[in-house]
Amino acid sequence: MKTIYLKDYKKPEFKINSCELHFDLFEEFTTVINIMSINKLEKSENDIRLDAMDLELIEIYLNDLKLNDTRYIIGEDSLTILNVPESFSLKIKNKIYPQNNTELEGLYKSGSIFCTQNEPEGFRRITPYLDRPDVMSVFTTTVIAQKDKYPILLSNGNKQNCHDFMNGRHGTTWHDPHPKPSYLFALVAGDLGCVNDEYTTASGEHVELNIYCDKGNESQCSHAMKSLKESMAWDEEKYGREYDLEIYNIVAVDSFNMGAMENKGLNIFNSHYVLADEDRATDANFMGIQSVIAHEYFHNWTGNRITCRDWFQLTLKEGLTVFRDQSFSADLNSREVQRIEDVKGLRDRQFVEDASPTAHPIQPNSYMSINNFYTSTVYEKGAEIIRMIHTLLGEENYRKATDLYFDTFDGQAVRTDDFLWAMSKASRIDLTEFETWYHQSGTPTLKVEESFHNGIYKLTLTQRVPNAVDGSVQKPYYFPLKIGLIGLTGKEILERVLIVSKEKEEFVFEGLNSKPYLSINRDFSAPVKIQQSTKEYAFLMKHDKNSFVRYESAQSFATETLEEMMESGNIDEEFLEAYGYILNLDIELSYKALLLELPSVSTLMQRQDVVDFVPIYLAKDRLERELAALYKDKLQELYKQNHKPKNKKLDAISMGQRAIKNRVLRILSALENREVIDMAREQYKESLTMTDRVVALDILENITSEEGEVALNDFYNRYKDDTLVMNKYFAILAASHRNGTLERVIVLENDEVYDEKVPNLVRSLIGVFARNYKHFHAIDGRGYSFVAHKIIEIDKINPQMASGLASAFKIYERLNNENKELMKKELDRVLAVPSLSKNVYEIISKILK
């Protein structure tokens, strides 16, 4: 399979000044007419090679003259027109089959709705084009369809006109004045419900806001609409960026490969990130909607107005936009909880990726399928890199620098280097050494050594940078490290941002009365692992004013306690005591819920040289039981204080109460006794929120068969007509630790609600099962075999979905021999499939290398 390299980048040879598209949508097929006005750029070839996938050509006209087939060549993924003049118009008519498109790239159908997904390379499945982000053009689009079935016809930009035709068909023309690359093109046609609102920009422009969804779901769009308006206001205030069209449309569809897509003026969303009410969505779902709505909106400037020169630059728009949406969520909600959640996500997914054979820099230098690079490295680690720049520059300089970035590059397709140029130029801070973060992979470890003599405290930091995947040695990083020093009584002595740039660094602090306590990597100022021999967790949990380090200390304490248990069987009494201390703290409840959470299996597994899951569970289960038994009364009291089953409000206090109460219930459930079963059963029955219901359901499923069954049946009957909610049902069953989980997953595949063509459902059932460490890695090998079989099957339907599932095997190299052997057999089997997609091939071949 072909590998594409950044070093081979060449500028486009042609410019597409305008692109006029006509879509005639029918039930069996769609015809597309594409009229482009094209100019040769300097040094252009005589032939123009357009990207085209599965092209069924009807006719081509060059400057109004029909071309015969000696004037063009149809290749496997291209259409080449021979001998074109300096400046010409090209009209191409072709036929496509959206109804049969299960890959969900290009134009396809989600249920009865026509919709598109063109990032990164879907547009070439619609019409021949220079389908690359650095070719930007002005689009005018006419969509024609049968009026009763598809009353709503949408595309990018502003609406120009509508026409009714004699035969029951109608058409709408849209014009987008902003030049854009083809990956931002979108089209929707359907019989949709709509929620309408408006927004007035800071400079007084009125914007019509619409959220479209399946009819009947309109009442579930209000949170998304509120989030959209909050995002628009935030971007004006924080970045000085206003919206730039008369209309902003969002459409929710059920079949969507990704979370959402920022098409200019016409965002298309996975309905998971739009639809919500308290009865159907959890608090986490509501937060997810707020952040994804914001993310796609923020792309209007960071992604659309300024886009990427090529796909190797993906983090230019994604890392920056994730940083922006994280900052937005922190401003609107709890800053401390937001930061911890972001770091948790980074460590559970990105750190794992960074330690695997698919590790790559945030700006990769090669790929087979660019679809495989929409990763947590490009997104979440990318956001950490922007956050470090923000820390290095400070708020004021950062704002000057983003202003300069927008002023300089508006309307262009640029590189991460251009972004760094603006950051550096406006702030006068040299970022040359910092650039390493863009080009290296793997997570560095920072070894911390301390000494204290005669009032002088010395901090010695040593960076360990892992080799790249190909074995090459990598350079030390340049980064900001925020630290605090705390006195014996718990009083803060100082807070500093240290600049670490060499492999080994020393920092000296003079005039201290005694050896201070070190609070390191405050707010997680750099995405590194800390290795420290002094253990001052209990002290920091009590006295550190930095909420992140307090959390981190609780996590590290629990992690090391569990590791000690795995090793010797002993439980550290001091940890149990510290846990009791947190239980009694009077702090924000969502934050408290995080402090009480034990480290994830993923966290513990990342620290093992050879991964072995069983001792991890056993230790975790045992520690939870100990804590539940020891603090039973306090836990029950906390539960009672905060269990408000009739309160479904979404304010911070109500959500905090639900968070702590459900955390407590989960801890108590380790006791697996009648009392806790009754508590969960009651909660399931009486609570008005989905947040409470799924926690109760999950607990019942995991600790009882009888009550679990009753609750699951009730849930099924209540929500079976709502596919979005049914994802939760599938996910709870697929994640279950009870015996027989695989058998039940296999039965569920035949459930009438389940559909292998819908990515959300596949992710909820198969994807969640592949992250069920207990059953996926079961040593009879059936978990591996099942998932491998599904990858082969789903690859034929939707390669992107299949390669997503293949990620579960990334842990291969680090497994114990027994599991490794079992996994290898399955990976070999997948790789031997003759028609394997490049998506799956790329992931599995890297894993096996």
For 751, residues 6+ apart whose C-beta sits below 8 A from its C-beta are none
The residue from 32, 50, 260, 735 that contacts ligand DPP (CB under 6 A) is 260
Name residue 579's amino acid: Y
Total residues in contact with ligand DPP, by rule CB under 6 A: 8
Nearer to Zn ion, 103 or 318 (CB): 318
> Minimal CA–CA distance to 282: which of 590, 588, 658?
658
370 binds ligand DPP (CB under 6 A): no
3-state SS assignment for residue 506: strand
We find the least distance from the C-beta atom of residue 299 to Zn ion, in angstroms, to be 6
The Cα 776–Cα 826 span in angstroms is 12
For 643, the token pair is 């269990």
Q: At what angle do helices 382-393 and 395-409 cross, to 10 degrees?
A: 120
CA distances in angstroms from 673 to 9, 249, 628, 677, 680, listed in the order given: 63, 51, 11, 6, 11
CB of 253 to ligand DPP, least distance (A): 13
Distance of alpha carbon 739 from alpha carbon 737, whole angstroms: 7
Give CA torsion, residues 410, 411, 415, 421, to 10 deg: -20
Among 74, 258, 355, 833, binds ligand DPP (CB under 6 A): 258
Applying the rule CB under 6 A, the residues between 277 and 306 that interact with ligand DPP are: 295-296
DSSP symbols for 21-81: EEEEE-SS-EEEEEEEEEEE-TT--SSEEEE-SS--EEEEEETTEEPPTTSEEE-SSEEEE
User: Where does this chain touch ligand DPP (CB under 6 A) — which range of 93-101, 145-153, 258-266, 806-814?
Assistant: 258-266
The entry of ligand DPP, Zn ion, none near residue 176 (CB within 5 to 8 angstroms by kind) is none
Q: Cβ closer to ligand DPP: 301 or 551?
A: 301
The residues, ordered by sequence, that sit 6+ positions from 678 with a Cβ below 8 Å of its Cβ are none
Quote the tokens at residue 698.
């999950």
Residue length of the chain: 849
One character per residue 314-353, x = contact with Zn ion (rule: CB under 5 A): ----x--x--------------------------------
The nearest distance, CB 528 to Zn ion, in angstroms, is 25
Check binding of 119 to ligand DPP (CB under 6 A).
yes
Give yes or no for a cis peptide into 177 (omega within 30° of 0): no
Q: Which two tokens stand for residue 534?
A: 């002094």
Tell me which residue has its CB nearest to ligand DPP. 258
Footprint (CB under 5 A) of Zn ion, residues 449-478: none
Comparing CB distances to Zn ion, the nearer of 266 and 486 is: 266
* Among candidate residues 227, 235, 431, 204, the one with its CA nearest the CA of residue 320: 235
Q: At what angle do helices 690-703 and 706-719 cross, to 10 degrees?
A: 140
743 is catalytic: no
Contact 55, 124 (CB under 8 A): no
- Cβ distance to Zn ion smaller for residue 254 or 380: 380
Considering only the stretches 203-211, 253-261, 332-340, 786-794, report the one whose residues sit in contact with ligand DPP under the rule CB under 6 A: 253-261
Residue 576 binds to ligand DPP (criterion: CB under 6 A) = no
Q: Which does 258 bind (CB under 5 to 8 A by kind): Zn ion, ligand DPP, none?
A: ligand DPP
- Spot the catalytic one: 20, 262, 278, 296: 296
Residue 61 pairs with which residues in a beta bridge?
66, 91
* 262 is a site residue for ligand DPP (CB under 6 A): yes
Between 382 and 656, CB nearer to Zn ion: 382
- Partner that binds at residue 35, options Zn ion, ligand DPP, none, CB closer than 5 to 8 Å by kind: none
Nearer to ligand DPP, 269 or 639 (CB): 269
Helix (H, G, I), strand (E, B) or coil at 848: helix
Q: Which does 707 bind (CB under 5 to 8 A by kind): Zn ion, ligand DPP, none?
A: none
Binding segment for ligand DPP among 255-263, 402-410, 622-630, 683-691 (CB under 6 A)? 255-263
Residue 318 interacting with ligand DPP (CB under 6 A): yes
Which one, 119 or 826, has the nearer CB to ligand DPP?
119
Catalytic residue positions, numbered: 296
Residues forming contacts to Zn ion in the complex (CB under 5 A) are 318, 321
Residues forming contacts to ligand DPP in the complex (CB under 6 A) are 119, 258, 260-262, 295-296, 318
